Chain A
Amino acid sequence: MKNRSWAFLAGGLLVALLLAGVVSNYASSHPDGLDSSLLKGCTVDADDNIVGGSCPAQQARDHELADSPLADYGVRGVRNSFVSTGLSGVLGVLVTFAIGAGGFWLLRRRGGTPTDGDATTPTEVHPATSDDVRRRADAAS
């Protein structure tokens, strides 16, 4: 990949890390659209716990991995909730990127058929070779 792509990748990851690591602490903790729709018929207290009535949400069961060290977007053992949420977010972004980028890299198409209609960026038949070509071209310009 070109340097420009690496810069974009690094910039994008930085934004994701900031969102998950810092901004996540300012997220709303109210139930989301689906959970709140399933609460219809029940009354809830200020913490959104069911205190009466009858509704589909009462059928909810515990998560299989509720004891996971990162369950509910917190790091078990970290007392400070700001740090706990932020750290879990940072770990989540890194794990998701590792699995995503790693998996897609293994799945990627190797060898040379052109991408559809992509006239400006021909597919690289031999990535290493073409990178060398480009580096030489960059150096020359």
Chain B
Amino acid sequence: MSIMQAIICGVIYWLAEANLPFVGLWTLQRPLVCGFLTGCVLGDPVSGAVIGGTINLVYLGFISAGGSMPADMALAGVLGVSYAIVGGLDANTALAIAVPLGLLGTIVWYLRMTIDSVFVHMGDKWVAQGKFKKLYLSNVILPQIFSAVICVIPCFLAAYFGADYIQSFIDLCAGKPLQIFQIIGGMMPALGIAITLQYIFKGEARIFLFLGFMIATCFGLTLVQQGIIGLIAALIYIQVTDNNKTTGIPAASSQAAVGAVAKDYDPDED
């Protein structure tokens, strides 16, 4: 890996991590996408997408809510793909190496969330002085420069120096250890699926997990075909049950919240 390639890997990580929504957040942060771009940089886009996609299975339903970040999937994607391409690893081994790296990456997120408060106070000052245009400086430019520093440098170092060692590390692991990596990598996607199930494996939808499992076991469809069957099943189910008054998952919380709003809401304002 050349120095330039390693720097671009760092830049991809920064764009993915720094929540610029038009490139990051919901798109580039996913290992499927940032792995694909890392693959482009290293001259093997297809491997990048395949390995990134495999790593992404672990992070399917990862939720970052209220400023928490359970794992840094962007770092796992960029470093996992670059190590895999440089070291010639298969997807499951890359997955087993990338996931622990993703846990380390959360440090970057928490550092950023903490330090960014400094820029808010600059914003406060400029707003009080009526210099609203400077919000671009305090809300975008300065925090993003800071993010770039804490993202690009560690990721560049890890990509550049890590890749040197990955080959000898894998040679060292030949045989049983490598097989264990593959076993672990094969199990990891269960975590991503289980996290997603926390949100959708509820009430009447539960049985459809087993229906989907049986359909896939018996017929071996592609997931897109299975998704279309799932969509039709959902529509049929809702049409059939439509007459019954149904209460769904977030009903309780939204009702309570509406109640809270109603308290503050003054009808005389109309």
- Asked if A pairs with B, the answer is no
Residues of B at the A interface (CB closer than 8 Å) are none
